[in-house]
Structure 1
Amino acid sequence: MEFDPVILSRLQFAFVVSFHIIFPAFTIGLAAWLSTIEGMRFFTGKPVYRRVFDFWLRIFAVSFAMGVVTGIVMAFQFGTNWSVLAEKTGSIQGPLLGYESFTAFMLEATFFGVMLVGRQRVSPGFYLFACCMVTLGTMFSSFWILANNTWMQVPVGYEIVDGRIIPTDWKEIVLGSIMMIRWPHMLLGAFLTTAMCVAATGAWYVLRNVHREEARVMLHWGLGLAAVLIPVQMFFGHLAGLYVYEHQPEKFAAIEARWEDETPGSEVWIAWPDREQKRNLFAIQTPGIGSLIATGSWDAPMKGLESFPEEDWPPVVIPFFGFRIMVGMGLLMLGISWLGNLLRLRGRLESNRLFLWGTFLAFPSGFIAVLTGWYTAEVGRQPWVVYGLLRTSDAVTPSLTTGDVVISLILYILVYFIFVSFGIWYIYKLLRAGPMGPVQPVDGAPGARPLAFAGDADRRQGRD
Structure 2
Amino acid sequence: MFEGWDAVVLARAQFAFTMSFHIIFPAFSIGLASYLAVLEGLWLWTGREVFINLFNYWLKIFAVAFGMGVVSGIVMSYQFGTNWSAFSDKVGPVIGPLMAYEVLTAFFLEAGFLGVMLFGLQRVGKRLHFFATLMVAVGTLISAFWILSANSWMQTPTGHAVNAAGQFVAADWWQVIFNPSFPYRLVHMVLAAYLTTAFVVGAVGAWHLLRDSHLAGPRVMFSMAMWMAAIVAPIQILAGDQHGLNTLEHQPVKIMAMEGHFESHKDGAPLILFGWPDEAAGKMRFAVEIPKLGSLILKHSPDAPMAGLDTVPRENWPPVHITFWSFRVMVGMGMLMMALGFLSLWMRWRGTLYESRLLHMFAVAMAPSGFIAVLAGWITTETGRQPFTVYGLLRTADSVSPLAAPAVASSLIAFIIVYFIVFTAGVIYLLRLMAAPPHHDEPGPAKDVPARAAGITPAPAAVAKGATP
For residues 214-244 of structure 1, give each alpha carbon's deviation from its aligned partner in whole angstroms, at most 9, with x where no partner exists. Answer: 0001110000012111122111101111111
CA, structure 1 residues 73+458, in 2 after alignment: closer, same or farther (shift >3 Å)?
Answer: closer
Decide which moves more: 50-59 or 257-266. 257-266
CA, structure 1 residues 271+141, in 2 after alignment: closer, same or farther (shift >3 Å)?
Answer: same
For residues 66-87 of structure 1, give each alpha carbon's deviation from its aligned partner in whole angstroms, at most 9, with x where no partner exists. Answer: 0000000001000000000000
Residue in 2 aligned with 1:246? Answer: 249
CA, structure 1 residues 128+456, in 2 after alignment: closer, same or farther (shift >3 Å)?
Answer: closer
CA, structure 1 residues 110+455, in 2 after alignment: closer, same or farther (shift >3 Å)?
Answer: closer
Q: State the AA in 2 paired with 1:182.
A: R
Q: State the AA in 1 paired with 2:32.
A: L
The whole-number CA distance in structure 1 between the counterparts of 2:253 and 2:362 is 37
The whole-number CA distance in structure 1 between the counterparts of 2:370 and 2:446 is 36
The whole-number CA distance in structure 1 between the counterparts of 2:404 and 2:374 is 32
SS across alignment from 1:351: coil
With normalisation by structure 1, the TM-score equals 0.93
CA, structure 1 residues 348+210, in 2 after alignment: closer, same or farther (shift >3 Å)?
Answer: closer
The whole-number CA distance in structure 2 between the counterparts of 1:66 and 1:239 is 32
Residue in 2 aligned with 1:387? Answer: 391
CA, structure 1 residues 457+242, in 2 after alignment: closer, same or farther (shift >3 Å)?
Answer: closer
Pairing 1:298-337 to 2, within 5 Å after superposition: 298-337=302-341
Residue in 2 aligned with 1:415? Answer: 418
Shift of 1:288: 1.5
SS across alignment from 1:243: helix
SS across alignment from 2:74: helix
2:212 maps to 1:209: yes
For residues 300-340 of structure 1, give each alpha carbon's deviation from its aligned partner in whole angstroms, at most 9, with x where no partner exists. Answer: 32111010110000010111011111111111010101110
CA, structure 1 residues 268+122, in 2 after alignment: closer, same or farther (shift >3 Å)?
Answer: same
2:150 maps to 1:148: yes
SS across alignment from 1:260: coil
2:315 maps to 1:287: no
Given the alignment, which residue of 375, 395, 401 partners 1:397?
Answer: 401
Residue in 1 aligned with 2:20? Answer: 18
Q: Is the 8 A contact 2:157 2:179 kept in 1?
A: no
Pairing 1:24-103 to 2, within 5 Å after superposition: 24-103=26-105
The whole-number CA distance in structure 2 between the counterparts of 1:296 and 1:150 is 25
SS across alignment from 1:6: helix
Given the alignment, which residue of 115, 118, 140 partners 1:116?
Answer: 118
Residue in 2 aligned with 1:259? Answer: 262
Q: Which blocks of at least 5 consecutive residues in structure 1 are unaligned?
A: 438-451
Q: Which blocks of at least 5 consecutive residues in structure 2 are unaligned?
A: 451-469
Q: Is the 8 A contact 2:10 2:408 kept in 1?
A: yes
Shift of 1:175: 2.1
CA, structure 1 residues 211+383, in 2 after alignment: closer, same or farther (shift >3 Å)?
Answer: farther
2:367 maps to 1:363: yes
Superposed CA RMSD in Å reads 1.7
Shift of 1:355: 1.4
Q: State the AA in 1 paired with 2:19.
A: V
The whole-number CA distance in structure 1 between the counterparts of 2:383 and 2:240 is 18
Shift of 1:180: 1.1
With normalisation by structure 2, the TM-score equals 0.92
Shift of 1:247: 1.1
Shift of 1:453: 5.7
Q: Is the 8 A contact 1:205 1:211 kept in 2?
A: no
2:189 maps to 1:186: yes
Shift of 1:454: 4.3
Q: Is the 8 A contact 2:443 2:449 kept in 1?
A: no
Shift of 1:60: 0.1
Q: Is the 8 A contact 1:319 1:379 kept in 2?
A: yes
Residue in 1 aligned with 2:462? Answer: none
Alignment: residue pair count = 446
For residues 178-228 of structure 1, give each alpha carbon's deviation from its aligned partner in whole angstroms, at most 9, with x where no partner exists. Answer: 211110110000000001111111100000117710000111000001211
Q: State the AA in 2 paired with 1:205.
A: H
The whole-number CA distance in structure 2 between the counterparts of 1:99 and 1:48 is 38
Shift of 1:455: 5.3
For residues 270-324 of structure 1, give each alpha carbon's deviation from its aligned partner in whole angstroms, at most 9, with x where no partner exists. Answer: 0010111111121101122210012222233211101011000001011101111
